[in-house]
Amino acid sequence: PYPHYDHLRNLNPVFYIPEWNSLFVTGHPENAALLRDPRVSVERLGASAEDLKRDEFLPVNALYHMMLFRDPPNHTRLRSLVNQAFTPRVVSEMRVLIETQVDEILDRVALQGKMEVLDELAGPLPVTVILKMLGLNPQDAEHFKRWSESIAVLLDGGAESTILMPRIMQDVVEMNSYFRQIADDLRERPRPGLMTALATAELAGDKLSNEELLSNAILLLVAGHETTTNLIASGLHALLEHPEQLAALREHPELMDGAVEELLRYVSPVQATSRVLKTDMEVGGQQVKAGTQLQLMLAAANRDPRVFSHPEQLDVRRDASKHLAFAAGHHYCLGASLARMEARVVFEKLLQRFDTLEMLQQDISYRLNFTLRGLKELHVGVR
Ligand code: HEM
């Protein structure tokens, strides 16, 4: 997609398409400003409280109470309550689990001499970590994988989601009843983990309702899954395509933190997000009406030459900290520190354990999801 992003950005970093009543925002400063603009809303699901009572709105219902789709003050309240449970300490306590998990996987991979990265490493790791954090049964990982794929398609909202709607509906029903059972008895019978912490989180006497608990637990599960999978797999692919960068990282392990930021910039696992304008306003020198949709192309912003010199080059030494891979403003990714930790541990351990890492396939292809861009498969040989 990158040549298209460049083309659009060169035409205008804020490009209006009247047929869709949409602004495509490909510039970095423009995206950064709009993500922080209080006149810009995330409440774009387009369903009323009445709609939500109807069966066919069940999938939307699951999204409705997610903090991701609420503006302040609802957002502030939901995010603060979730933050009571998802604390920096809870996240840093996951390090040992992540290390053990990666070690176990790489032990197996060492014996095999090769791996399919998505199935064996990048897929299972984030889902195991988030299930463990939530205090859910790791044996349920298979269901979660299917359910979160469905939610990912739903969030993408493209043609695929219409075709797959019956399956999405079924998955949402299953997922809802799974979480509902847990949520229902959680307040009486707490079990260790984030689900209980979420159910019991309290701020000035205020708590999450069952609906809110459900939606936001699903959000943590989905947001933390596909995205991290894609950072690990596409990040590894990018390093393999640039052996000199991999070598630099091997020689200077202290570059790792910066390298993960550069990989976030370069692969942008969340390619885009959208918003809607609350008021008539001027955007990029154009007067636009309330109700106009914004397509915020985070991946395009991350390749804006006004902010990143030679943006098409992967450079683990550059300061990539201005990237928008985790967005910005109120909705800045809540799981950023967890995602960073998972990626660092994976890349550190891959480099420590194997002298040689090589691609075992000629061509690569991407899955059919525009928002969450990720590889279909990645075969890598190790020695
Ligand atoms: C929000 C990216 C991993 C939880 C976001 C947003 C982006 C993002 C771009 C903002 C979306 C918007 O404003 O429309 C990523 C990437 C990840 C990642 C690239 C991995 C590389 C995670 C993990 C978790 C997580 C591991 C949790 C376990 C969330 C939550 C939100 C969010 C809860 C909503 C925050 C809010 O609305 O206030 N993420 N994410 N993410 N992310 Fe992540």
- Does residue 98 line the site of ligand 1, with CB under 6 A? no
C-alpha torsion 361→367→372→374, nearest 10:
-10
Q: Which pLDDT score, from 0 to 100, does residue 148 have?
A: 81
Which is nearest to 325 in space by CA: 246, 382, 374, 261?
261
Q: How many CA atoms lie within 13 A of 378 on its CB side?
A: 27
Report how far ligand 1's centroid is from the alpha carbon of 259 (Å): 19
- Structural domains present in the chain: 50-239+336-382 (1.10.630.10)
Q: How far, in Å, from the CA of 224 to the mean position of ligand 1?
A: 7
Check pocket membership of 231 for ligand 1, CB cut-off 6 A: yes
Could you give the CA distance from residue 313 to residue 271 in angstroms, rounded to a whole number? Answer: 18
- pLDDT at residue 226 in the model: 86
Choose which residue among 43, 218, 261, 333 to substitute to test ligand 1 binding: the one with the highest number of ligand atoms within 8 A of its C-beta. 333
Residue with tokens 């689900």: 195
Q: Is the CB of 325 under 6 A from ligand 1?
A: yes
Whether the per-residue pLDDT at 265 is higher than 90: the answer is yes
Ligand 1 centre from 270 Cα, in Å? Answer: 9
**CA-nearest residue, atom 17 of ligand 1:** 227
Question: Using an 8 Å Cβ cutoff, are 368 and 160 in contact?
Answer: yes
Length of the chain: 383
| C-beta neighbour count of 38 within 10 angstroms | 11
Distance 227 CA to ligand 1 centre (A): 8
Whether the CB of 338 sits within 6 Å of ligand 1: yes
Report the pLDDT value the prediction gives residue 177, as an integer from 0 to 100. Answer: 83
Read off the pLDDT of residues 48-64 as tens digits, 9 standing for 90 and up: 767 777 776 666 777 88
Question: What single string gives the DSSP state of each residue in 135-188?
Answer: T--GGGHHHHHHHHHHHHHHHH-SHHHHHTHHHHHHHHHHHHHHHHHHHHHHTT
Bond into 13 cis (ω within 30) = no
Q: Return the residue whose CA atom lies nearest to atom 5 of ligand 1.
A: 333
Q: Taking residues 287-300, what's their average pLDDT?
A: 96
pLDDT band at 369 (very low <50, low <70, confident <90, very high): confident
H/E element holding 29? Answer: helix 28-35
**Does residue 302 line the site of ligand 1, with CB under 6 A?**
no
Q: Is the beta carbon of 374 within 6 A of some atom in ligand 1?
A: no
Atom of ligand 1 nearest to the CA of 69: 37
Asked if this assembly's ipTM is beyond 0.90, the reply is yes
Q: How confident is the model at residue 142 (pLDDT cuts 50, 70, 90)?
A: confident
Name every residue whose Cβ is closer than 8 Å to that of residue 319 and which is 6 or more positions away in sequence: 258
Who has greater pLDDT, 222 or 216?
216
Q: What is the rounded CA–CA span in Å between residue 337 and residue 126?
A: 13
Most confident stretch, 172-181, 214-223, 332-341: 332-341
Q: Mean pLDDT, the chain, as a whole number?
A: 91
Whole-number Å distance between alpha carbons of 153 and 211: 22
Q: For residue 65, how far is the Cα from the chain centroid?
A: 18
Q: Are strands 22-25 and 293-296 parallel, antiparallel or unpaired?
A: parallel
Q: Which of 363, 379, 362, 364 is nearest to 112 (CA)?
A: 379
DSSP 249-285: HHH-GGGHHHHHHHHHHHH-SB--EEEEESS-EEETT
Would the CB of 327 count as within 6 Å of ligand 1? yes
Cβ atoms of 324 and 352 within 8 Å: the answer is no
Per the CB < 8 A criterion, the answer to whether 166 and 184 are in contact is no
**Phi, psi torsion values for 17, nearest 5 degrees:** -115, 100
